């Protein structure tokens, strides 16, 4: 990674684009768990976030909800992992090993 220019913009993203729901489904499959995924209307999620923000370590905040509303993808206008000589892998290939390594700890 010696060729990184600190004055240059890099977009670093994996080889596949996921929706938030797809990420949750992939995580559940890796954990070999079955759960219902309920999509909440925005106003319900916002009420939950307002209440959770009152807790010491909130699971959800209003700021996080705002971030989840917008896509977080690469535009491919800037150099990325490929230009840095770094190969990427999908979440499906990395997650099982990552989860296993966390359980072993």
* pLDDT tens, per residue, the chain with 105 residues: 567 778 889 999 988 999 989 999 999 998 889 999 998 899 999 999 999 999 999 999 999 999 988 888 999 899 999 988 899 999 998 888 887 766 655
Token pair listed for 36: 């219902």
Query: How many CA atoms lie less than 13 Å away from 12 in the CB half-sphere?
Result: 10
Q: By the 8 A CB rule, do 92 and 44 touch?
A: no
Enter the tokens of residue 68. Answer: 């989840």
For the chain, what are the domain ranges? 20-104
């Amino acid at each position: 990674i010696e060729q990184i220019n600190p004055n240059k913009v890099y977009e670093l993203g994996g080889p596949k684009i996921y929706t938030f729901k797809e990420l949750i489904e992939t995580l559940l499959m890796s954990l070999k768990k079955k759960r219902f995924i309920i999509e909440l209307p925005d106003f319900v999620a916002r009420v939950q976030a307002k209440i959770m923000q009152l807790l010491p370590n909130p699971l959800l905040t209003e700021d996080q909800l705002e971030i989840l509303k917008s896509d977080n993808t690469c535009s491919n206008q800037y150099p990325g992992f490929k230009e840095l000589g770094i190969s990427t892998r999908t979440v499906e290939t990395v997650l099982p090993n990552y989860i296993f390594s966390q359980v072993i700890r």
